[in-house]
A = this chain, B = another copy of it.
Amino acid sequence: MSRVVNRHHEAAYAGLGTFCKAPLALTPADLEGVDVAILGAPFDEGVSFRPGARFGPRAIRQACNFLWSPPARPHMHLGVDPFEVLDVVDYGDAECPPADLAGAHREVKARLTELLVAGVFPVVLGGDHSLAYPDVTAVVERYGKGNVGLIQFDTHTDTAPVEWGGPLSHASPMRRLVEEGHIRGEHFLQIGLHGYFPDPEDFDWARAAGMRWYSRYEIDRRGMTEVMDEVIATATAELPEHVFVSFDIDVFDDLYAPGTGSLESGGLTPREVFPALNRIFAELPVVGMDLVEVAPIYDRSDLTALLAHRVVLESLCGLALRRSGRRLPGRDST
C-alpha cells in the first residue's frame, strides 16, 4: 500500500484525522524517504490518578486547526515551514490492547522500532508517561547503551521506586531506565520540576545517580532564557551524541493544560517553553521525542490538545532549521 493523502480542499474539521493532514503510512514499506513519523500510543493503564490519556493521540491529531490539505504552516518568527523541509507521515497508532499495560508497551516498542530501523525521526504521542520505558529502550537499542541522553520536560521526576503500583506504572519509568542501565543518571536533564516531592530517599537516589534538574523555582529566579543557555551548553558538553526529548504536558501550568491526569499548580507557560523547544531541536542532536499525558476528557475547548499539537510543531520547526542548516533568528530580530 502506498501512502494515503487527503482530498485537497479539506477544512480543518474534515478529512482524514492525521497529524497536520500529513499522509498516512501504515507499514514499513511506506517509510521510504520519510524524515519524521507520528506514532500514537493510546494507553493509560499506567496512571496513578486520573486516567484518560488513551484518548490523547486522537485528540492531539484533531486539534489541528489549519485549512487545506496539506496546509501551509510557516512559523511566523522562525521563518520555516517544517513540512516544507521535512517529509512527515502519520504512522497511525500502535495496537495497544486495553486493560493490558505490558501488551501496550510491547506493541509501541515494535512499531517504534520499525521507524528507527527505517531511519525515521519518531514523534510518539502518548498515552501515559510509562511510555518512556518502551520508547526510550527502543531508541537505546538502536543507538547503544550509554549513547543516548534524555531531556525531560515535566512537573514530576517519574523516578519513584517500583514497589507499589507495579513496575510498569507512570511513576517509575525514569528510575527503571537508569537502574537497568539504558540511560546513565548524569545523562538526564529535567526541566520544570516543582511541587511536593520527591521523598527524601528518592531525592538521595536521584542525586547519587547524578541526575540534574532545572526546577521551576530556578526558572523563576534566573529566567528561562538564562536557564536554557545553561541547558544547551551542558547538553552540548556532557550529553552523548544522541538526545531524546520526553515531554510531559503537565510541565505546563495546569490552567494551560487542564487535560492531563496529574495536576500541580504553578507550572510553566507556552511563552517559556516554545522558545526552549526551538533551541533544543535546532541546536542539539535530537533523535526522537515523545509527548505524553494528554487526557482530553479533562480538557476544555481542546486547549490542551492544541497546546500539545503546537509543542510538536515548535519542535519540528527547530528540527527543520537544523536539517536545513539554518540557525535560529538572533535575539534582536522581530
Chain A residues engaging chain B, CB cutoff 8 angstroms: 1-2, 4, 6-17, 24, 26, 40, 42, 44-52, 54-55, 57-58, 62, 65-68, 72-77, 92-93, 95-101, 103, 107, 130, 164-166, 168-170, 193-200, 203, 215-218, 220-221, 253-256, 258-259, 262-266, 270-271, 274-275, 297-303, 306-307, 310, 313, 331-332, 334
Contact = CB atoms under 8 A, between A and B. Distances in A.
B265 A306 contact: yes
B199 A74 contact: yes
Contacts of A198: 74, 76
A interface: dominant SS: loop
Given A26-B4, A58-B17, A258-B300, A194 B11 contact: no
A168 B106 CA distance: 19
Contacts of A259: 301
A72 B199 contact: yes
Given A7-B95, A9-B97, 9 more contacts: A11-B48, A14-B95, A16-B24, A52-B52, A74-B199, A75-B195, A75-B196, A255-B255, A266-B274
Given A4-B1, A4-B26, A95 B42 contact: no
Contact of A9 (B66, B76, B164): B164
11 contacts: A7-B93, A11-B49, A12-B49, A13-B42, A15-B92, A76-B215, A98-B165, A99-B169, A100-B166, A103-B166, A298-B301
A97 B334 contact: no
- Tallying the copies of this chain within the complex gives 6
A218 B165 contact: no
Contact of A301 (B1, B97, B170, B300): B300
A306 B196 contact: no
A217 to B, nearest CB: 4
A258 B303 contact: yes
Nearest to A56: B13
Nearest to A275: B220
A197 to B, nearest CB: 6
A263 B302 contact: yes
A73 to B, nearest CB: 5
A75 B93 CA distance: 28
A222 to B, nearest CB: 9
Nearest to A196: B73
A95 B297 CA distance: 25
Task: Please indicate which of the listed interface residues A13, A14, A72 has the most CB atoms of chain B within 10 Å of its own CB.
Answer: A13
Contacts of A9: 95, 97, 107, 164
A72 to B, nearest CB: 5
Contacts of A217: 76-77, 334
Task: Please indicate which of the listed interface residues A103, A169, A300 has the most CB atoms of chain B within 10 Å of its own CB.
Answer: A300
A68 B2 CA distance: 23
A6 B96 CA distance: 13
Given A12-B48, A92-B16, A67 B301 contact: no
A103 B166 CA distance: 9
B100 A165 contact: yes
B14 A271 contact: no
Nearest to A155: B76
